[in-house]
Amino acid sequence: MTTKALTLRLPLEQAEAIEAIAGVDGISINEEIRRAVAAHIEARRQDVEFRERLRASVERNREILERLSR
């Protein structure tokens, strides 16, 4: 798996909560954050309204790219 390093800034309360959750689960904070991101991505994929907005965005960008390529 190829990875990309990111910097994440969280409010102190969220940082402490994620540290506690990771500790209880016996996993790294990075792994806990990866799991949360994966769950969020999957939730967005299941969101019909989001998928409609995504399709509209893809179409708009396709039209722009086609105009630029002429």
User: Measured between alpha carbons, how far is 19 from 55 in angstroms, rounded to an integer?
Assistant: 36
Task: Supply 28's token pair.
Answer: 């790294």
Q: What is the pLDDT of residue 27?
A: 98
Domain membership flag for residue 4: no
Q: What is the pLDDT of residue 39?
A: 98
Q: What is the pLDDT of residue 1?
A: 85
Domain membership flag for residue 55: yes
Query: Which amino acid is located at 12 in the chain?
Result: L
Domain membership flag for residue 38: yes
pTM of the model: 0.80
Q: Any idea which residue has 């630029």 for tokens?
A: 68
Residues of the chain with pLDDT under 50: none
Give me the domain span that covers residue 20: 12-68
DSSP type of residue 27 = S
Number of compact structural domains in the chain: 1
Domain membership flag for residue 5: no
Domain membership flag for residue 52: yes
Chain-centroid distance of CA 44 in Å reads: 9
Going by C-beta distance under 8 Å and a sequence separation of 6 or more, which residues neighbour residue 44? 50
